[in-house]
Structure 1
């Protein structure tokens, strides 16, 4: 997922939590999982949601398939949506425990407590390296992981 889509996701979740909390509490809100890669040749197309799935698709197609890395929904054509919004659709339910205090959650993630939120993000940051963007060079990828976040 790209940063912009995650921000849009947060805004939409905030909207539903603020105005339709029962919809969320009752398990009726889902997040569409979209593919990270398209791997294809002239006969077959695979939409892959992980590096592992991409490697499996490459093996199935053999030869030199075309590989596209989707960095956001804007890179997926409207015609392609039908290919992964079908019987194979991947939906992640938004799960909200009963004891969750919505006012506290909304204030924490969308309020004015920037330093607290920043500390939380830094402490829980998950670093993912896209080897294709790192030039498929292991040393470059390891260097990216070891970099310290800038202070400021």
Structure 2
């Protein structure tokens, strides 16, 4: 009785997700209002060694998985759902499935929402994006931060000794 939207975890996938949400809000708003539409979170990375595989949904999770699995784990960056084998797909749609419900506030006017995000008000939308933009760190920054944290911890341990 539920709809699960599964798209790639990249910019193109987010655009497809937006178009699908627009479709459901415009033609089947009651499905959304009654909590029957979900977004499937798909992993961005697979980090594994010979004994364990960890699926990671963010750069932060990837860094933690690398730390947990120790020296030189194999890291795969998924570019899309098509790269994931059916056997692997079962690993994150079973017990460990991550579903985000699509939630509308009770007072949300769907027509206004669709006009704002999909209408011709380009300047208003652009201003909203600029004011709410979050920039993710790239791999080099994450690695540098992790190395700095290790160096800081080692320095603290050495000074305490």
Bin the TM-score by the shorter chain. 0.7 to 0.9
> 1:39 aligns to what SS in structure 2?
strand
Cα 1:60–1:137 change in 2 (3 A) is closer
Distance in 1 (alpha carbons) for counterparts of 2:142 and 2:62: 17
> 1:31 aligns to what SS in structure 2?
strand
Do residues 42 (structure 1) and 46 (structure 2) align?
Answer: no
Do residues 75 (structure 1) and 96 (structure 2) align?
Answer: no
Do residues 105 (structure 1) and 124 (structure 2) align?
Answer: no
Do residues 2 (structure 1) and 10 (structure 2) align?
Answer: yes
Bigger drift between 42-51 and 79-88 goes to: 42-51
RMSD, aligned α-carbons: 2.0
Q: How many angstroms does 1:71 deviate by?
A: 3.6
- 5 Å-filtered alignment, 1:11-30, equals 11-30=19-38
Unpaired stretches in structure 2, ≥5 consecutive residues:
1-8, 146-161
Distance in 1 (alpha carbons) for counterparts of 2:102 and 2:90: 23
Aligned length: 137
> 1:128 aligns to what SS in structure 2?
coil
Question: More helix per residue: 1 or 2?
Answer: 2
